[in-house]
Amino acid sequence: MSSNVRVTPHPSFDVLAATTAARLITRLLDVQGDRGEATVVLTGGSVGIATLREVAKSPARLAVDWGKVNIWFGDERFVETNSPDRNCGQAAQALLDQIPVDPARVHIMAASDTVASLDEAVQKYAAELAAAAKTEWLKDDDAPEQEPVVPRFDVLLLGLGPDAHIASLFPDMAGIRTKGVSVVGVTNSPKPPASRVSLTLETINSAQEIWIVAAGADKAAAVGLGLAGANEVQVPASGARGLVKTLWLLDEAAAAKVPSALMRREN
Ligand SMILES: O=C1O[C@H](COP(=O)(O)O)[C@@H](O)[C@H](O)[C@H]1O
């Protein structure tokens, strides 16, 4: 296992969500202290959304300059705007509607009733990522000579499915194999809804820090395989690796198959 990977178990789902929220607030404050603005990629799923609810409850959220937080999504269900399945709708309800974010910095993926096709939704998000990357590049003296296609992601949150999917990259499907583009469309997701939009693994792995959040006994096998370095096509979570840090933030049940030598207890 690469040295940038750290596994931290938490005593319960609630403690996991509250602690991840505290970590996220701290990270945003640190990055804003260094760079002025911070960029986070949100995830759907049980722990991902519970974490946002905890951020909304925390008094420490008031220390963050939410007007200077750029918000992206790792994946989205390609359904109508008002569908309760939309990850961005759940995130809005849990947090984004309660904090003073700059709407221009909240980048949602297109809903099925706002574009003509899944492919259009994919191209639209890829173009939005590329435009943000270019703006960042214009501001940065140390910018790479080659134009980046995605902006800098300070923290990228990922939920984890019992089948080890991350974002909407499912085992053995085209999405996890897709390279050379930033965003991919998924048409036959084994988990409903069938149509989805997802960042590719290359885009995910461009993040400075990736935090994989998972809770429950049904995730234990996926966590074990992901940490054992299984092939990423069969076990997508295994391929997630942040440039600086990769955190596996788990509850005890999800951590059941992690060798104790890999664990770092903080409680
Ligand atoms: O469908 C999805 O599922 C995963 C995991 O969700 P969970 O409820 O089992 O925690 C999530 O990460 C992803 O964003 C979402 O679209």
| Ligand 1 centroid to residue 214 C-alpha, Å | 9
State residue 141's pLDDT score. 64
**161 CB under 6 A from ligand 1?**
yes
Q: Is 80 within 8 Å of 113 (Cβ atoms)?
A: yes
Q: Which ligand 1 atom sits closest to the C-alpha of 87?
A: 16
Split at pLDDT 50, 70, 90, the class of 267 is: very low
State residue 143's pLDDT score. 62
What is the value of ipTM here, to two decimals? 0.97
**51 CB under 6 A from ligand 1?**
no
Asked if the model's pLDDT at residue 142 lies above 80, the reply is no
Q: Strand pairing partners for 84?
A: none
Give the contacts of 212 (CB within 8 A, at least 6 positions apart).
Answer: 158, 159, 160, 166, 226, 237, 240, 246, 247, 248, 249
**Atom 7 of ligand 1, nearest CA residue:** 45
136: left (phi over 0), alpha (psi -120 to 50) or beta: alpha
- Rounded to 5 degrees, φ, ψ at 188 are -130, 55
- Give the whole-angstrom CA distance, residue 10 versus residue 20: 10
Report yes or no on whether pTM surpasses 0.90. Answer: yes
Instruction: Classify burial at 204, counting beta carbons within 10 Å of its beta carbon; exposed 0-12, middle 13-18, buried 19 or more.
Output: buried
The structural domains of the chain, ordered by start, are: 23-257 (3.40.50.1360)
Mean pLDDT of 84-90: 98
Handedness of CA 143, 130, 174, 234 (dihedral sign): positive
- Give the whole-angstrom CA distance, residue 10 versus residue 251: 5
Asked if the model's pLDDT at residue 123 lies above 60, the reply is yes
| Ligand 1 centroid to residue 162 C-alpha, Å | 9
Amino acid at 187: T
Mean pLDDT of 159-180: 97
**208 CB under 6 A from ligand 1?**
no
For 221-247, the pLDDT digits (tens) are 999 999 998 999 999 999 999 999 999
Split at pLDDT 50, 70, 90, the class of 144 is: low
**Atom 8 of ligand 1, nearest CA residue:** 45
| Ligand 1 centroid to residue 8 C-alpha, Å | 20
| Ligand 1 centroid to residue 88 C-alpha, Å | 12
| Overall size of the chain counted in residues | 267
**171 CB under 6 A from ligand 1?**
no
- Give the whole-angstrom CA distance, residue 86 versus residue 103: 17
